[in-house]
Amino acid sequence: MEKKNIWLKYQDGQREQVMEFAERYRQFISKCKTERECVDELVVQAREAGFTDLRRVLEEKQEIKAGDKLYITNMGKSMALFVIGEEPLEKGMNILGAHIDSPRLDIKQNPLYEDTEMALLDTHYYGGVKKYQWVALPLALHGVIVKKDGTTVTVNIGEKADDPVFGVSDLLIHLSGEQMEKKASKVIEGENLDVLVGSIPQLQNEEDKEKAKDLVKANILSILAEMYQIEEDDFLSAEIEVVPAGEARDYGFDRSMLMGYGHDDRVCAYPSYAAIAEAGTCKKTSVCLLVDKEEIGSVGATGMQSRFFEYTVAELMETMGGYSQVAFNRAMTNSKVLSSDVSAAFDPLFPTVMEKKNAAYFGKGLVFNKFTGSRGKGGSNDANPEYIARLRQIMDSNDVAFQTAELGKVDQGGGGTIAYILANLNMQVIDSGVPVLNMHAPWEIISKADLYEAKRGYVAFLQEA
């Protein structure tokens, strides 16, 4: 069943709406390159949209009623937003779940060293990356350093026009004969993804010259002490991420696409937030759930496997006078979820890894993946046909362009999302999202039209599922 290119269906003014929404998203991913930055920015936007901090509501024992807009953050790296519906929570929720972490390089706890009068930071890559893609690029440092007195220092270097940038060096082609014979997975080793940060030695007094060593490292520490009032030991309690430097950009002569870092999965997270802000008060409570750590298995206190969301729903039900274990179980069972995560777009340069009838394409709209996993559907949630039929009806009645896909040929590989974790709570769940080219590369590509249709589809889901 071939789907038409959705650019052809847009009438007067609709293309402008696509471009306007894409520009808002472009600004968001240009500014928000870490989980913390995403949460901080969306808290600002949520407050402007009328959302109230749920923790304050709970502390002050305020009444919670239909139409209330609430948000809650978890350790600064995940969050949930609620618009309380007309029906009690026991009747279930309509949930948009996405992740806000992306593949990157993380600075180690003892990172700074000097070698041949060059200062470098040691890194550990995060998530599934092709390591060779991360060399010879301008990189930026984003994150936080928490000092022993509890003071938090925010780091963001490499994004302003007058900022320095950093990078991982690569071997010149003239000397890389042996390197070029290696497998792609071995061309760049993980321990060689160290970031070059300086080469000027610190000036010394005459009496100190004899015993001086690692003067370039010392100079970097002096710069950091001046900029941030930190010392070397403060790296022990730092969380600094190395990401591509620069803003997301329009892509193509026709500006129909966006190139940016972190489309996986902020290209689903942002329209999920936009949808709950736009949808208004619905029959069922609307939820936008944005989590961390999906790229490494959704583990930890800020990942989807955390009990944060369950605890929050229990608090809501208790405050609204409707909590019991049975009522909570019913709330989970009666909920429906779009696990909003990206899908691999068909690439005409690499057609052999895809099965064309079941691939996602640019310009064909929101993607539904009945299952993900690998090979024999290992590790996947497999959505029920009754649920898919209902979603088809919702999308068609709202003229939302959508397509269905699998993540490559059966024996080619596959991937995972947060879908199975929510399905373990007995919810109806399906993966849905935006197709992406260059997935997990430093710079990924998406279609603006698919982004826009995703937002429209998410709004329709919240209002009618």
Report pLDDT digits (tens) over 349-389.
Answer: 999 888 889 999 999 999 999 888 777 777 778 889 999 99
- Write out the two tokens for 31: 């500014």
The tokens for 104 are 């990157």
> CA 20 → CA 256, 300, 435, 450, distances in Å?
12, 36, 20, 14
> What pTM value is reported for the model?
0.94
β-bridge partners, 112: 121
CA distance to 192, 245, 287, per residue, from 132 (Å): 10, 17, 39
Of 158, 252, 230, which Cα lies nearest the Cα of 196? 158
State which residues of the chain have pLDDT below 50.
Answer: none
Q: What is the pLDDT of residue 439?
A: 95
pLDDT at res. 207? 60
Q: What is the CA radius of gyration of the chain?
A: 24
Q: Which residue has the tokens 């937030």?
A: 273
Which pLDDT belongs to residue 130?
A: 95
- Cα separation, 266 vs 294, whole angstroms: 12
| 396 CB-contact burial (10 Å; exposed 0-12 / middle 13-18 / buried 19+) | exposed
Q: Which amino acid is at 111?
A: P
Report residue 282 as tokens.
């619905």
Q: Quote the pLDDT of residue 417.
A: 84
Integer Cα distance of 290 and 265 in angstroms: 10
Which residues have a Cβ under 8 Å from the Cβ of 280 and sit 6 or more positions away? Answer: 83, 463
Contact of 426 with 384, CB cutoff 8 Å: no
Distances in Å between the Cα of 412 and the Cα atoms of 352, 373, 408, 415, 420 are 10, 11, 6, 10, 21
